[in-house]
Structure 1
Amino acid sequence: MGFIRKIIKTRSIRDEYFFIEIKRIIGFTPKDLHFYKTAFIHRSIKKIDKESGLPQNYERLEFLGDAMLSSIIAAYLFEEVPSGDEGYLTQMRSKIVSREHLNELGRDLDLLKFVKSTVAKSKFGENIHGNVFEALIGAIYLDRGYKYCEKFVQKRVIIPYVDVPKLEGKITSYKSLFIEWCQKQKKDFKYQVYEDTGKNTIKHFSVKLFLDGKIIAKGRATSKKKAEETASKRAYYAFQQEISNT
């Protein structure tokens, strides 16, 4: 009997700690902790909802949070930049909600500490930080509605990070920029990607970037996309003057 009381007490303390931490992060009182707990369940847990029989993890909340964040940022930019046309506003929104920025937001809030998973946290890719950040926004929407989502995004995203003039000059994809330049200048380019584990236990990829048949940059990362972006960034700085003048 004493053992059972101890389990219940421990579970209550954990919930209280989680409640306090979530309240600190979102800036207001959560009503239903269930939504927030779900926001940090990784699919590897293979948790099934008892009533619906459906998988329970953060992925659906991530989808919802992505939509909420995008709409809030779109509304903010619409009001803040009345002279911006559709293309400009879309570009600015993409910079704010870029995967790199969302990962940074998730890391800053240390959301990874709440994630429940059977996978070692050291094995997660960088995108886990942004994924759970979006899932948290989805949980806020289900728990408190759109206005509280807006309040959270204002506090954690817009006020500390969004500076429209600075964003105008921010490059979110060196690869896209480099390819666009190559196409305008009618230059031949090619990304040659191959696995390169080396001494690392985690799989890595290396890439050679060719321009008119010559290697101009190399990159190495834990994914093909990141390796290509690294090589593109190096190529951009090598040809920055030419690219800027086009």
Structure 2
Amino acid sequence: MSDSHDEIGERLLDAALEHVPFDGWSDTTFRAAIADCAVAPALARALYPRGAVDLALAFHARGDAAMVKRLNETGLDSLRLRDKIAAAVRYRLEAVPDRELVRRGTTLFSLPQHAADGARAVWDTCDLIWTTLGDTAEDYNWYTKRATLAAVYSATLLYWLGDESDGHTATWEFLDRRIDNVMQVEKLKADVNRNPLLKPLLAGPNWLLGHIRAPRRGRMSGLPGKVAARNRA
């Protein structure tokens, strides 16, 4: 019985991971994976039209899936939200079998022609974290939560790539500090909104933000989202 296309795609990705530390996410790696798996080049191109770029994105998606699985299997209900987020980011990084694979990926997605793909991958990771943790935001907070987490995740990822501490303890401490910083900003925003002297100044911005809605699931072309239509008398 022949393998399904999904199975062949997984085999190609597994084979590519053996070459990435030496040749990066490159056409050389893609060709080597095809040869290792004895897959027809046309089929490999059909599965990964952009070659190594799509392989790198598939590798990222595999890590996301492992993170979600671990989150769903781990009892986090008793934790504070900030600790749940810290656990999710940590699980995502711990899903990586070899940091060199990610290091090579950051090189690939730092190229102008692939920067949008890299940004989308990070955004999708942060969206998965919030969704898995049960986020129900339907307004502009849907965007601010993911954008803020993307900044925390990206900074932590870069720190982790250079961290040589035992058990990456320095990275987890760095992550905790970044999340604490974000929580302080959120507290400041809440205090400003409650301040009777400052609240009138925010009426306009808050009105505009109140018309922004989260995207419907499955509608994810470009940066997702929509603006709510104004009620008409």
What TM-score results when the alignment is normalised by the length of structure 2? Answer: 0.31
What TM-score results when the alignment is normalised by the length of structure 1? Answer: 0.29
